[in-house]
Amino acid sequence: MTLPAKGLVVGRKRRIVKVGWRGIGAVVALLLLGLAVLLQRGAPPSPEILCVGYTPSPVSSLELERVFLDEVRVTLRNEGGAPCRMGALVLTLGGKEVSGWAWGELRPGEEREFTLPCRYAQVGREVGSYSLTGRLRVLDREGRVLLEENLVFSLPTLRMGETLPQVDWTENVSFTPLSWSENRTVTYTRSQTYRGPDVRTVEADPGTKFVLLHFRYRNLSEGPQLTPWISFGQLATVEGGLYPLTPYSEGARWVELGPGESVEGFFTFQIPEGERPLEASFPVREGPGEVLGRDRVSSRVVRPAGFEPASRALPEPQAHGEPGS
């Protein structure tokens, strides 16, 4: 009778031991949970920086294979619970790193615009691409990274039929690219003499053709205006060629327009037979061969909506009195 009693006692002890370890585990878990809550409650608030806007302003020069940037404006907002002592902005764009100070304190909920001077940073551009991808880093005064984000900058371009409301160095003179065409010959006004316009007709070299970009200027101001002098440009083809603007253009030099008047003309390029235009760029110049300071020169890339291979008649440039003409 004594042996079964001893065995029962041993079994009870085992159950007591098992229950004890389970209780200890539960207590430890509760202690860890309470410690985490205390740590979370006791942690100081931290800033949380978000980029809510960015603009390259202005693009000083947009060419077919490169872009010169004057500055980039970045708008930041602090959505954290603590103020942030700003330090610097670092922008990596086209393999180049541009940095600048961003001094000041950004309070919780505050939004502010910072300017990153690029000092005419030259950035490579892929022909046919109308955006630039960069990476922005925001640092505090201790050099800690507050934000690291990819940015995509849209480049100012025009499609066929779109209108640039104001051409540089004019007051409300608009520019509208109309269409492409190609010809074996082109007739243009070489110069104005006391006898009248000196009109010439030239023929494309063997194995080449002329590609014309037809455009319209319109004076939207209440007084007389001169259209800009454009003596340089480039055309890129689908096949990868780059070709300069020829002197056989019409309306590329100064034309005086009265209020509401418009004039049509064309830029002429000479390219090999079999190649097709992709886009063209035209910087604005003050006079023959005189380029203004780079910070004051701008240009636009004209994007074709569709190539028109059929030749079309080239009208003589003339001023139109009605704005809708």
pLDDT tens by residue, 304-313: 554 443 333 3
Give the global pTM. Answer: 0.67
Same-domain pairing of 141 and 182: no
* Nearest residue to 66 via CA among 213, 211, 234: 234
Higher pLDDT, 19 or 283: 283
Same-domain pairing of 146 and 212: no
* Nearest residue to 303 via CA among 278, 269, 285, 272: 278
> Strand 225-226 and strand 256-257: pairing?
antiparallel
Mind listing the pLDDT tens digit for each residue in 113-130?
998 888 778 888 888 888
Q: Residue with structure tokens 């070709």?
A: 243
Q: Which of 137, 155, 173 is the last residue of a domain?
A: 155
CB-CB contact of 155 with 128 (8 Å): no
Same-domain pairing of 150 and 263: no
For 135-155, what is the mean pLDDT? 90
In angstroms, the Cα distances linking 273 to 181, 281, 302 are: 13, 21, 21
pLDDT at residue 156, rounded to an integer: 77
Residue 255 lies in a domain: yes
Same-domain pairing of 184 and 53: no
Residue 22 lies in a domain: no
- Beta strands across the sheet bearing 242-244: 157-159, 299-303, 277-283, 234-237, 242-244
Residue 68 lies in a domain: yes
CB-CB contact of 225 with 170 (8 Å): yes
The residue count of the chain comes to: 325
Same-domain pairing of 204 and 93: no
Residue 318 lies in a domain: no
Higher pLDDT, 211 or 66: 211
Residue 317 lies in a domain: no
